[in-house]
Chain A
């Protein structure tokens, strides 16, 4: 064996515990700032449009992932979204029991991308693929432009 003398008593198997304190600023960027401003001021989602492939992407972003060119055009999404896929979880991100919480990837007709968010429904079994949904937003005065301005989505 590579290591000749090993620990053979469980009481001798020791460890040290520590934590790594991490804190960041995540820069919103040019497109991110436009998306935030539209959400904060007008409660609408902003999409970017590619001049080459003509695809739109939400949330708005600076570069087209297909064409690798800058996207300069933007448009706001006026129609309700729809449920592309969904799931129900029973724990939070630290593994503690929490829920059930139903989450969905909300997409918008003719637009790539979307928003993952909570879905406010009384019964998870009532959710269907393609179900039309609208956002529940914070009051305009309380909005900061972050995605936390969206409290959840609900059936349209």
Chain B
């Protein structure tokens, strides 16, 4: 039997550069309330598993998971927190449903990055404390600069093609009500913006924003009873490369290749480029979109840049990629980034994407990366 778990409800709150009027828990409460309304469920009776995706350092509190239940309606209910991206949270919920532990499961993740006083230092402390962290004092994006440089060298991709990713995504975000960092700019402005970690510039580096996103998942049987706007998860996969950054092939996103291979196999997809109607993929940094598209087999090695420049990934192109504006156009959401991409894809597959709508979208791919300095990624294939 084909793998099938239903996304029966979504809700979100925030999507702004700062949200001073709501605490993190209030932001989550709003997102959860909307998701439960959307799914037509009561969390106190209908949910058998709650999954949160958070990381203590971003929360400013130890054992963050203990602070999650109240605002999700999860007090004295089964709840666990996983310290990873939201798509891996979705995979965890899928497993709970498949195992029979739950009929209905909830996944939440959020970013309250505007509360974090020194996000660069937290990112820096994620580097290996003995071998990578202590002997120089540099912007933690140095690894992104090195990855980009190596990717450009090995693939022969023109540097300006990376800038075109930022141009495309920021332009798309202008039509997205969630698009905090939307803009109509050209490649010259992107390439001449301040250097973040050469060759990467500031306009090619996504900026953190605040939001909470909540998903309600259900077994196929239960989903059929819960309304008529179900989007199906047809395949899901995740993978982690070594944490030793010095060991990695910096030109490739091998963790994405692995995660995609598993998701495609589950969904029985042999030719992803022709199967999909749209994709929301990692664009934490401009080059990441190109590197990810190649790892996802949505572009041949070294050709993603040329394709983006030719408009193949525009909203009206051959395969719309980050029609939402992605992280460069909307903003980056820490561990909730994967849920953001999934939210945008679900809106598309429901036909609720407004001015961003890709006509007759039926099949979507979402892919996330946990960011610097990780090499962990996840992929899900969705259909309506």
Contacts and interface: CB of A to CB of B under 8 A. Distances in A.
Nearest to B241: A65
Interface centre among B13, B20, B115, B136 (most CB of A within 10 A): B136
Given A10-B20, A20-B60, A87 B149 contact: yes
Contact of A93 (B140, B153, B195, B242): B140
B244 interface: yes
Interface residues of B, number: 49
B34 interface: yes
B316 interface: no
Interface in B1-44: 13, 20-22, 26, 29-30, 33-34
Contact of B247 (A6, A65, A104, A124): A65
B117 A89 contact: no
A131 interface: no
A85 B147 contact: yes
Interface residues of A, number: 53
Contacts, number: 135
Interface string B192-211: 00111111100000000000
Interface string B126-138: 0001111011111
Contact of B120 (A95, A103, A146): A95
A15 interface: yes
A32 B20 contact: no
Contacts of B117: 17, 19
Interface string B238-250: 0000101111001
A117 B135 contact: yes
A2 interface: yes
Contact of A88 (B13, B22, B194, B198): B198
Contacts of B124: 93
Contacts of B115: 15
B139 interface: yes
Interface centre among A10, A58, A85, A95 (most CB of B within 10 A): A85
Contacts of B137: 92-93, 98
Interface of A: 1-3, 6-8, 10, 13, 15, 17-20, 24, 26, 28, 32, 57-59, 65, 84-95, 98-99, 101, 103-105, 107, 112-118, 124, 129, 146-148, 150
Interface of B: 13, 20-22, 26, 29-30, 33-34, 60, 115, 117-118, 120-121, 124, 129-132, 134-142, 145-150, 153, 194-200, 242, 244-247, 250
Q: Kindly list the 9 A-B residue pairs having the minimum CB-CB distance in the complex, ordered from nearest.
A: A87-B145, A2-B33, A13-B20, A85-B146, A93-B124, A85-B150, A7-B21, A89-B139, A114-B246
13 contacts: A3-B30, A7-B22, A13-B20, A19-B117, A87-B200, A89-B142, A90-B195, A91-B120, A93-B139, A93-B140, A101-B138, A112-B247, A146-B134
